[in-house]
Structure 1
């Protein structure tokens, strides 16, 4: 599944889309591959509050007695409401399964489906099937339990036939309804999202990833509608979007990426076609249904005049991520959700490789450091983090499965696989990967199967490692966290220690490896790059500066003795080009986080930003801004804020002037990351009150308000301009933005305006906006939680958003589903600024008050927020005075 909110599984690979006159196709890519509610009195229902027993229907995992082979499914969604206003679908399903062990019980997943006819069972081996004695629906564990009078025979095959009815609701899960308006006419789309445990809402099924089967799907639909299923490459979307050419960019890059992965995996694309469709309502970023990939509109549609460079990058990386899954995840599938990290981490890593193939001038592979490595460090440094791979028994319930779709699985998974590929070499890595895919195609695996194939590749290549692949990687996979490697250049000693943002906390989990890792260290003295080493003793380095973890290929932080820190600071000030751009970003990120953990002084970390006054590269600036954002979160309600604004404004002035000379704010810089840095220059200059910047954005926004049909603001700059102008304005500017939001037909433009309206500084405007998030006619359900988070990121809006979430938690939880991928983001987002004892007690009270309702996929986020707030309180108490003095007199 694409990042965004953050698939691959047996029935999760099934994708179905049916639209009422709403879809159109554009030219096929020149790549061809050969290859009504009712109740059945005979069906009983269990009380979900009943105490669980040891019976199989009270367990979260299916027994291994039955193995599905073939499904034949017919679905008929009604795209018009019935007389009661309800949208429904009906269906027929027959599943052929083999009995592995004799049993008198058929357990099959079914959630929110009403059986409209008594299920029937027939034998396919010449003998009649046992008679069905009773059927019981277990709503808590989401099973239909079919009790038989006699036992099924091991080795025999049977066919179970069911007829059912379900609601085609707008809850964004299972078989659901999406609506939008085109030329004033309401359009209805029936579509699917079955990751991770929602296929059971569409039809009865054995809904576990190891229960792979062949699916034959029939859709009943009106001839005026378009029906799509998994099995010519085509792009589908709203007719208006297709007519505007918004699918052309996605179409142009899909072919090159598919060809790249065929070569990378050394396996031909396994299906005859690959359709991609943009949906108006979609909770995740995308879903890699085999042969029919579904996307949010912002992850697939691009408008040359309106969409930004960032939008373009998101489209190509999400497409690459989903296409990577067609092999790694669909062709070969992990056995259970505890190994989700391998599926999603791998796709996250190689999405950069596929995107680089389609856009080779972007140097996009470097951005994994900012987008994934640095991002996940912040989570994995908490004592409440978790290992990449858990025990199967720890991941059972649907909400536990959903929690696995987090930053650890995606970004840490990608980071450690990138590290593995680097120290093995890409040649050895891909060789092992190719034999793994060939050996396990159309089957299921556990992550150690990949280690075995990589080890074979290592052995055949003659590569020397200090331990086996499994021994090295076991420490990165089976224990949470990562090390900080400390290099003492005076003595040559190198040590490692488990890095925790709050060193006084204890990890939630014990580790059989005692939180020690086999660490591959690449390092340089002066400007000569040295070879790879494995955490060994080194000789003293005298007065030479040393820099470790070149290009941040290793998943660890680096600390040095004071003298080497000073030497690195001097190099940054006098000859920063001696240090690779990625490592200039790394030095900043490591220093700030080492300071947060109390390992080095906070003023030392702040000194790593001094060289930015002359830095014009994107990665160091972005790293600095990401880390200074923590200072804004902690201090934008204190006396530190003024001096900090002055310092940051002084540092960014040269960057702002540089782009003024280079582009005069009318032209687009030629480089991919230069375009990002132009946005940074404008954003920071305006946020710190630089007069020239404020004049620009106010003038542009006023010109647009005077002539709404002609937007003078360049696509890349719109997010920054909209936010700054709305923050500086009032009700008139906000209402204009809302009007433009409602009229916008390009999804990325709607997203920019939606986020910018959260920048308002009038509390009543923000409170009104918060209420809009509970009205799907104003803010789509897929966007509700991210809108609340945007408001919470505003210092004025944060307490309003926190009050709003607490007051409406039961409604939000029930309406947006306990399995929503965005709950952890919501909880983290509204508590990010917490740094006082009062806020900590409020957070604890929130956890206790709503325990009876639950937090779904946000359960772990609650604990992480409490831990983070506790650490923030300690950090602010310790550092506020020194930080204030430094910003007053930076040196």
Structure 2
């Protein structure tokens, strides 16, 4: 055996002389000794004649390695064995050349340790007393090689037969349903010689069992999954609207957690048929499970047929009735279910196209996932489609399409306004760099996995530009054409273009390949407006070196007609640096209707105040998203120096001074923007004092009206606005809010009774009262 520490070659991808077609994987799990071992038999196709086979392996002790050519009885043994630690590769040389066009079976035995690394095949201790010990996998992006020797690249799909040897009484899970499960004393030697030999070494075979799972469809290695442990489950099912088949659905966890799994299971049961209807593609596997784990690196992982994620992401205590947690669990569950189509049925060719997976999955998610900064634009559209057609159908009162703006769209846009942003398609060099690309700020994996911004919302704009029905048909065409295959960016654009007959590739090109997004300045002239695009940067107007990109921008202009009706001109595009657009300037108009486009709009201060008043009038044509967009854009422009802070405050005053509506998401936009200013000027009382007085004037009356105690009559807006208004009022120094917090906290300290502190306010009360106490002492 020769070990090298050489750096990987320039060609960081595995050679394609030999490609896998099928894996027969057997894994023995010993939780007591924290070890695993097994054998993998990989059916290969020899594309080009070679005497070397190169595959991925890392942190494994490899045993016997043999190769048998199809149609030959002779078994070949290696003549040389090398490992490249940096590239995580095994290079096996055989004594003769393997002919091109032939097939062969490579058999490798291996051993490994069940560590707490949270990647590969690892061990989890689920509770403090150490009783709930189990093992599970996390392979994305390149950790399957730590569990078994394989071709660990997404494009090298293959089918899998998985067999697990484990303790009797424990539960084995994998991507597919179990087709058989036998106590080891009844296992036949003819079925698997390696397994039979392994069973013979067990001290008491009657205490062990063998579980064999059905064969998977073609699947990328990072989506393979298995687990073993003392799991319990809740069960449900759904009926396919396309075929009428009934598929079982389960959520697994240890006994101390499983009782909190019903809500996520209910969400999955309801979204599965909706996804089939929207995409016109039936879920292809016979079952779908979720495993909630105490120790998991990501929020959730879309392993095909066996979603795995954190307990905090998939469990909900039914006794707490915590709206925020329910929204998070629902978004997480529906996001990972979306991956059963986008990412699992159709998978990106390589990690530079990760957004093709995460963007589509965001179809249903409240939080974004896994895309490089510019990708957010692409994902935004898919996210919105999902909210409108999936979760929004289940929870219309949550207004998830608007919720997305505050929770993901604008935080991601804030990131993409930085000079450190990067395009959606980022070259992923060697495997060691993939994690770095995936974790580039929130750009790629923000909050469990959040995509960067630009490309997301642009897709949202694209969806409105081409029409939602055609957009969805284009997505469906993309899925059907590339079922069980791998894709690149152009495949998606072509799918949408095939249905819409519009130049989608040209429209999306700069959004995907260039950094950043534009600011659209609006200058009013006689008979219309002059619009101009520049790159928007948080540091102020872009200089020439950072202002070369010309985006194709769907302006989506809302205008009022003479009869007081309104219409949206969704086909108005800005394809050059600037242009004049004829408009009736005596009537209402607004760019970026519905806040569907990923850009900032700058009006004059006077127009901005007028729009603010129009936005909250009783007969306003503006949507909730329009109101949110006006506030967020105004403060983005103020913080970057494109306009004054007084202009943004003037907008808020014109909107909120007399506005009685309890639209939480608009108030949340105001609160977040004012808090940012307060945190910037906290050392300047001459600024902070008047600002806090303004905050108290806005949020103090709302806090008093809603009070500290939740009511049975509360709407979803009431529940969320109560928390936000009390927080803003107290942070600004409102005497009533601070006094209530202090009294409730004191009662808790004196009596140990926390019943006067509502659970949704607990964290805030502890934080604010503690900070006030510290400031008083100093």
Compute the displacement of 1:291 (Å).
0.7
CA distance in 1, matches of 2:103, 2:32: 39
Matches of residues 54-69 of structure 1 in structure 2 within 5 Å?
59-69=11-21
Q: Does 1:602 align with 2:645?
A: yes
Distance change (3 Å), C-alpha of 1:524 and 1:406: farther
Corresponding residue of 1:46: 4
1:484 paired residue number: 519
Q: Which runs of 5+ in 2 are unaligned?
A: 177-247, 366-386
2:722 corresponds, among 678, 688, 699, to 678
What is the CA deviation profile of residues 591-610 of structure 1, one whole-angstrom value per residue up to 9, with x for unaligned ones? 11112332212221222222
Do residues 493 (structure 1) and 530 (structure 2) align?
yes
Cα deviation for residue 112 of structure 1 reads 1.1
Q: Which residue of 2 aligns with 1:388?
A: 424
Cα gap change, 1:708/1:99 in structure 2, threshold over 3 Å: closer, same or farther? Answer: farther
Please give the alpha-carbon distance, in whole angstroms, between the structure 1 residues aligned to 2:300 and 2:256: 21
Matched, 1:422 2:464: yes
Distance 2:484 2:107 in 1: 25
Which of 558, 561, 579 is 1:523 aligned to? 558
- Asked if 1:151 is matched to 2:97, the reply is yes
Q: Out of 569, 580, 595, which is 2:623 matched to?
A: 580
Deviations 1:290-344 (A, max 9, x none): 1111121111111122252110001111111111110111011111111111210
Report if aligned partners of 2:747, 2:753 keep a CA contact under 8 Å in 1: no
Structure 2 equivalent of residue 379 of structure 1: 415
1:363 to partner: Cα distance = 2.3
Match in the other structure for 1:111: 58
Post-superposition CA distance 1:457-494 (Å, at most 9, x none): 113xxxxx4xx111111122111211111222224212
Structure 2 CA distance for partners of 1:342 and 1:507, relative to 1, 3 Å: farther
Partner of residue 139, structure 2: 194
Do residues 457 (structure 1) and 483 (structure 2) align? no
1:213 aligns with 2:148: no
* Shift, 1:114, TM fit: 1.5
Superposed displacement of residue 684, structure 1: 1.2
Q: Alpha-carbon deviation of 1:580?
A: 2.7
Give 1:678-827 correspondences, 5 Å limit: 678-705=722-749, 711-728=755-772
Match of residue 673 from structure 2:
627
The aligned residue for residue 652 of structure 1 is: 699
Shift of residue 589, structure 1, vs aligned partner:
0.9
- The within-5 A match list for 1:869-880 is none
Number of equivalent positions: 665
From the superposition, tell whether residues 637 and 163 of structure 1 become closer, same or farther in structure 2 (CA, over 3 Å). farther
Aligned partners of 1:567, 1:77: CA distance in 2, in Å?
A: 68
Look up the SS of the partner of 1:600 in the other structure: coil
Is contact 1:484–1:499 with CA below 8 Å preserved after alignment? yes
| Change in 2 beyond 3 A, CA 1:310/1:567 | same
The alignment partner of 2:581 has SS state of coil
**2:607 maps to 1:564:** yes
Structure-1 separation of matches of 2:24 and 2:658: 65
> When the two structures are superposed, what TM-score results if normalisation uses the length of structure 2?
0.80
Asked if the contact 2:541/2:642 (under 8 Å) is kept, the reply is no
The 2-side partners of 1:414 and 1:238 are apart by 37
Distance 1:456 1:576, change over 3 A: same
- Name which of 297, 308, 316 aligns with 1:283: 297
Aligned 8 A contact 1:344 1:413 in 2: no
Match of 2:239 in 1: none
The answer to whether the 8 Å contact 1:256/1:357 transfers is no
- Give the Cα–Cα distance (whole angstroms) in 2 for the partners of residues 151 and 323 of structure 1: 45
Judge which range, 564-573 or 147-156, deviates more.
Answer: 564-573
Among 117, 142, 148, the residue aligned to 1:171: 117
Shift of 1:452: 1.2
1:522 touches 1:550 (CA, 8 Å); kept in 2? yes
CA distance in 2, matches of 1:260, 1:573: 34
Q: Distance in 2 between matches of 1:552 and 1:209?
A: 35
User: Aligned partners of 2:130, 2:426: CA distance in 1, in Å?
Assistant: 49
Alpha carbons 1:281, 1:296 under 8 Å: kept: yes
Would the alpha carbon gap of residues 51 and 252 (structure 1) be closer, same or farther in structure 2, given more than 3 Å must change? closer
Q: Is the 8 A contact 1:168 1:177 kept in 2?
A: yes
Identify the residue that residue 554 of structure 1 maps to in structure 2: 597
Q: Tell me how far 1:521 sits from its aligned partner.
A: 2.3
State which of 632, 652, 655 in structure 2 corresponds to 1:589.
Answer: 632
| Partner Cα distance (2:550, 2:588) in 1 | 29
In structure 1, C-alpha distance between the alignment counterparts of 2:3 and 2:473, rounded to whole Å: 52
- Kindly state the Cα deviation for residue 190 of structure 1 after the two structures are TM-superposed: 0.7
Distance in 2, Cα, partners of 1:90 & 1:627:
55
User: Relative to 1, partners in 2 of residues 1:357 and 1:707: Cα closer, same or farther, differing over 3 Å?
Assistant: farther
Q: 1:228 deviation in Å? A: 1.1
For residues 203-257 of structure 1, the C-alpha deviation after alignment (integer angstroms, 9 at most, x for no partner) is: 1111111011111112221112222111121111121222xx3111112221110
Aligned pair in 2 of structure 1 residues 400, 99: CA closer, same or farther (>3 Å)? farther
Q: How far 1:414 moved relative to its partner? A: 3.7
Please name the residue that 2:168 is paired with.
223
Question: 2:460–2:596: 8 Å Cα contact kept in structure 1?
Answer: yes
Contact 1:383 1:508 in 2 (8 A): no
Matches within 5 A, 1:14-163: 43-47=1-5, 50=6, 53=9, 59-81=11-33, 87-115=34-62, 117-126=63-72, 128=74, 131-163=77-109
CA distance 1:301–1:393, change in 2 (3 Å) = closer
SS at 1:249's partner residue?
helix
The alignment partner of 1:75 has SS state of strand
Does the CA-based 8 Å contact 2:535-2:546 persist in structure 1?
no
Q: Residues 401 and 144 (structure 1 numbering): CA distance in 2 closer, same or farther, change over 3 Å?
A: farther
Does the residue aligned with 1:236 lie in a helix, a strand or coil?
Answer: strand
Q: State the Cα deviation string for residues 135-191 of structure 1 (Å, max 9, x = none).
A: 111111111111233222211112221122222111211111111327x45321211
Name structure 1 gaps, 5 residues minimum.
Answer: 1-42, 82-86, 460-464, 731-759, 764-891
Partner Cα separation in structure 2 for residue 279 and residue 762 of structure 1: 43
CA distance in 1, matches of 2:430, 2:87: 16
Alpha carbons 1:373, 1:412 under 8 Å: kept: no
Residue in structure 2 matched with residue 313 of structure 1 by the alignment: 327
Deviation at 1:612, TM superposition (A): 2.9
What is the CA–CA distance in structure 1 between the aligned matches of 2:628 and 2:58, rounded to whole Å?
48
CA contact (8 A) 2:730 2:768 kept: yes
Higher relative contact order structure (alpha carbons within 8 Å, sequence separation ≥ 6)? 1
Question: Matched residues in 1 for 2:771 and 2:301: separation?
Answer: 36
